[in-house]
Amino acid sequence: MAKRKDDSRKPASSAAVGAEVTIGKGGETHQTAGGDRPVLTTQQGIPVADDQNSLRAGVRGPTLLEDFHLREKIFHFDHERIPERVVHARGFGAHGYFENYKSLANVTQADLFQRAGEKTPLFVRFSTVAGSKGSPDLARDVRGFAVKFYTQQGNWDLVGNNIPVFFIQDAIKFPDLIHAAKPEPDRGFPQAQTAHDNFWDFISLSPESMHMIMWIMSDRTIPRSFRFMEGFGVHTFRLVNAEGKSTFVKFHWKPKQGLQSVVWNEAVKINGADPDFHRRDLWDAIGAGDFPEWELGLQLFDEAFAEKFEFDILDATKIIPEEQVPITPVGRMVLDRRVDNFFAETEQVAFCTQNIVPGIDFSNDPLLQGRNFSYLDTQIKRLGSPNFTHIPINAPKCPFAHFQQDGHMAMHNPKGRVNYEPNSWSGGGPRESPQGFQSYPEPVEGPKVRARSETFADHYSQARQFYISQAPIEQQHIGNALTFELSKVETPAIRERMVSHLLNIDAGLAEVVAKGLRLKAMPKPATAAKPTRQDLKPSTKLSIIKNGPKSFAGRKVGALVTDGVDAEILAALGQALKAEGVTLKLIAPEVGGVKDSAGTWHDADEKLEGGPSVLFDAVAILPSKEGAALLTTLPAARDFVADATAHRKFIAYAASASPLLEKAGVALDEGFIPLKTAADCAGFVSACGKIRFWDRDAAER
């Protein structure tokens, strides 16, 4: 190889030119790179002169092993990733606070519930269950809803979901459930989907899952955003007051914004257009000062109610309808701060159901008991050390003291000679206290057995109750979801087995699914341990549509505009939406923007192909006459209108948009609001408060 001139004596970088050393108040020195920019250093604090080039023997020679900066930098990069969660891998978090409404001292001694108006800091992580970290946000899936309260008595983790029941009754079946739901092991797909043989084979052989199946096939598993979904503690817990009296409790999070979901076709397209849709929504909302709020509600009941209730309160596949035990609002949660670093906070936060504080205790729910065992083990595996509580996001914010020591990445150890208890040394560290956590002294007796209580045996009655509580359009969506999922199952026997279970829930639903799958013959109903109860009344609280938002605030409207857009209408629309707390986004043929009819320039928020209507809660079609002619030639423009129509959104339109509407093949109905003058914009915004124009769906049916 031809030799080249060695100019290694020349500085390869000027990154540190102008570096200065300043002396702090305490005499410590601080290096700066000029101005207020710090000098780049290694992890050991050694200033780096060149971060652009490795140390070489000659400019074209081999890299030298003594380059400690290169080694440290590559070493750290190689170890940046930690194992993702087996479940709930894809999550997004935020900081906030819980504000207590009034003292609950009569039912619990938990400190955060003692004083009206007191605020307790917290961290929330929302997540999907089945998908990997790289899966899309709008997969049909349960959503995790985990809250870490930093109370004055230690951390309390309320680790729940956006659905109040679960697939299984005993934690010993959890590995089987997740193995069945995850990608099939021989092929590694499908990702973030339950529409495959393994999942439905397991479910069709597990009648206890039927109640949960109704929930996950409903629109609950495709929420509009984290802000518009409920959260549940799932299990029955205990509250214990200072006198030792116990009260059973179920925890509920009710969104102040109301409930809202998307429709399935919309979810599929959102996943393609913006797989980070839920993450972006929460990030944007907090950044805009539109802080999401939930109310914490308690279902409180005693042993007498537990004995007479139709189902076992320890069965995690059952709910207690709100009509039987009303929910008592006790405080509100506000998320008002984004994370500073996703990995340090959202990825490293460690939730454990075992983390409870004095005044809160467990029940004997076998699923909860197993979770208490599993979570701690999981966190040690993921975070690599028993010292994961030393990570700031996991550390208590109250004083704490213990004798636990050493281990990987120990950030603090006991000081002095004492690292055990009891000890006889003066000032020998912390001691236990009678005021510390004490488990509720529930009497327990019985033989050691592997058995399921007979009180857990009714698998269909509450599944039926959930289905009959839905609005007709929601029932249709459940039927469509079951048909879609089972159509992906390749084994006919599994499809038939699932329909046999549906016959025990609702014959009409079973017929819809059987017809959609074109079964050659209707199977016999599955054998039931207990017959389906027909006397359970519908519960309006189980429907999303019946508990929808009371306003259109917090949403986004996409306006498709071109050069020559009517200036007065565009301005009036923006003002009307802003007054309602709604964001207006402009979508244009080119991302640079458009010039309105008055000659004013407007920057576009999205280029047409990158801003489909699925990303918005309602849309406005506002081209000029010339612009409409252009849009009719663009497939993305036709899709923008056709999808908004199919997804039952309210659509405002200028008269000039008629050629585009015709080209998209849509039929106008009352969900299309003409904007003839600027004054019409207020009527459009008012109509959007209904969220969806469901009558369009009824017409199609």
Which has the minimum average pLDDT: 236-245, 431-440, 680-689?
A: 431-440
> What is residue 352's predicted lDDT score, i.e. its pLDDT?
95
Give the orientation angle of helix 492-502 with respect to helix 472-487, to 10 degrees.
Answer: 160
The first and second tokens of residue 683, run together, are 């009527």
Mean pLDDT of 584-588: 98
Which has the minimum average pLDDT: 27-36, 71-80, 294-303, 543-552?
A: 27-36
- Count of C-beta atoms within a 10 Å radius of residue 109: 20
As a whole number of angstroms, the distance between CA 40 and CA 57 comes to: 24
DSSP-based three-state secondary structure for 383:
helix
Instruction: State the burial class of residue 192 (Cβ atoms within 10 Å of its Cβ: 0-12, 13-18, 19+).
Output: buried
> What is residue 244's predicted lDDT score, i.e. its pLDDT?
96
Give the orientation angle of helix 507-517 with respect to helix 472-487, to 10 degrees.
Answer: 40
Quote the mean pLDDT of the chain. Answer: 93
* Whether the predicted pLDDT of 129 surpasses 80: yes
Percent of the chain predicted with pLDDT > 70 = 94
Please indicate if the annotation marks 85 as binding a ligand: yes
Give the closest residue to 640 by CA, choosing from 273, 231, 378, 110.
Answer: 273
- Count of C-beta atoms within a 10 Å radius of residue 677: 11
Please enumerate in sequence order all residues whose Cβ is within 8 A of that of 489, keeping only pairs 6 or more positions apart, or say none: 195, 196, 197, 200, 495
- Count of C-beta atoms within a 10 Å radius of residue 269: 20
pLDDT band of 11, cuts 50, 70, 90: very low
The first and second tokens of residue 494, run together, are 């599994």
Mean pLDDT of 70-78: 88
Please indicate if the annotation marks 174 as binding a ligand: yes
- H or E element at residue 202: helix 197-204
As a whole number of angstroms, the distance between CA 101 and CA 256 comes to: 15
- H or E element at residue 643: helix 635-646
* Whether the predicted pLDDT of 113 surpasses 50: yes
Please indicate if the annotation marks 371 as binding a ligand: yes
Instruction: State the burial class of residue 700 (Cβ atoms within 10 Å of its Cβ: 0-12, 13-18, 19+).
Output: exposed
651-653 and 29-32 strand pairing: unpaired
DSSP letter assigned to residue 39: P
As a whole number of angstroms, the distance between CA 243 and CA 227 comes to: 38
Which has the minimum average pLDDT: 95-104, 318-327, 440-449?
A: 440-449
- Total residue count of the chain as it appears in this document: 701
> What is residue 698's predicted lDDT score, i.e. its pLDDT?
55
Percent of the chain predicted with pLDDT > 90 = 85
> What is residue 3's predicted lDDT score, i.e. its pLDDT?
46
Give the closest residue to 19 by CA, choosing from 37, 28, 32, 35.
Answer: 32
Q: What is the pLDDT of residues 337-346, one digit of tens each?
A: 999 999 999 9
As a whole number of angstroms, the distance between CA 575 and CA 569 comes to: 10
The first and second tokens of residue 315, run together, are 């069965």
355 tagged catalytic: no
Give the closest residue to 687 by CA, choosing from 611, 591, 580.
Answer: 580
328-337 and 293-301 strand pairing: antiparallel
As a whole number of angstroms, the distance between CA 649 and CA 690 comes to: 10
Place of tokens 């000081």: 415
Give the orientation angle of helix 472-487 with respect to helix 264-273, to 10 degrees.
Answer: 60
Please enumerate in sequence order all residues whose Cβ is within 8 A of that of 690, keeping only pairs 6 or more positions apart, or say none: 650
As a whole number of angstroms, the distance between CA 391 and CA 302 comes to: 39
Give the closest residue to 342 by CA, choosing from 669, 569, 92, 38.
Answer: 92
As a whole number of angstroms, the distance between CA 561 and CA 567 comes to: 11
As a whole number of angstroms, the distance between CA 160 and CA 148 comes to: 11
Per-residue exposure over 44-83, b if at least 16 CB sit within 10 Å of its own CB, e if not: eeeeebeeeeeeeeeeeeeeeeeeebbeebeeeeeeeeee
> What is residue 18's predicted lDDT score, i.e. its pLDDT?
44
Mean pLDDT of 498-517: 98
Please indicate if the annotation marks 375 as binding a ligand: yes
Please indicate if the annotation marks 140 as binding a ligand: no
pLDDT band of 13, cuts 50, 70, 90: very low
How many angstroms separate the most distant Cα atoms in the chain?
93
360-362 and 237-240 strand pairing: antiparallel
Instruction: State the burial class of residue 298 (Cβ atoms within 10 Å of its Cβ: 0-12, 13-18, 19+).
Output: buried
> What is residue 2's predicted lDDT score, i.e. its pLDDT?
46
* Whether the predicted pLDDT of 9 surpasses 90: no
Partners of 620 in beta bridges: 559, 652
* Whether the predicted pLDDT of 26 surpasses 90: no
Half-sphere exposure of 606 (CA within 13 A, CB side): 23
> What is residue 427's predicted lDDT score, i.e. its pLDDT?
84
DSSP-based three-state secondary structure for 100:
strand
* Whether the predicted pLDDT of 22 surpasses 50: no
Which has the minimum average pLDDT: 36-50, 137-151, 155-169, 677-691?
A: 36-50
> For residue 255, is the peptide bond before it cis, meaning its omega torsion is within 30 degrees of 0?
no
Per the CB < 8 A criterion, the answer to whether 191 and 183 are in contact is yes
Mean pLDDT of 426-431: 87
As a whole number of angstroms, the distance between CA 85 and CA 243 comes to: 40
> What is residue 77's predicted lDDT score, i.e. its pLDDT?
87
What is the amino acid identity at position 541? K
Please enumerate in sequence order all residues whose Cβ is within 8 A of that of 529, keeping only pairs 6 or more positions apart, or say none: 207, 457, 458, 459
Domains of the chain: 12-80 (4.10.91.20), 91-390 (2.40.180.10), 459-545 (1.20.1370.20), 552-700 (3.40.50.880)
583-588 and 606-607 strand pairing: parallel
Place of tokens 């605030």: 553
Catalytic residue chosen out of the listed positions 88, 196, 278, 647: 88
161 tagged catalytic: yes
- Count of C-beta atoms within a 10 Å radius of residue 698: 12
Bigger pLDDT: 326 or 64?
326
* Whether the predicted pLDDT of 615 surpasses 90: yes
651-653 and 618-622 strand pairing: parallel
Catalytic residue chosen out of the listed positions 100, 161, 162, 394: 161
Per the CB < 8 A criterion, the answer to whether 456 and 312 are in contact is yes
Per the CB < 8 A criterion, the answer to whether 477 and 219 are in contact is yes
Per the CB < 8 A criterion, the answer to whether 226 and 215 are in contact is no
> What is residue 19's predicted lDDT score, i.e. its pLDDT?
46
pLDDT band of 435, cuts 50, 70, 90: confident
Per-residue exposure over 111-148, b if at least 16 CB sit within 10 Å of its own CB, e if not: bbbbeeebebebbbbbbbbbbeeebbbbbbbbbbbbbb
As a whole number of angstroms, the distance between CA 606 and CA 591 comes to: 6
Per the CB < 8 A criterion, the answer to whether 171 and 370 are in contact is yes
- H or E element at residue 88: none
> What is residue 32's predicted lDDT score, i.e. its pLDDT?
53
> What is residue 434's predicted lDDT score, i.e. its pLDDT?
87
Mean pLDDT of 199-220: 98
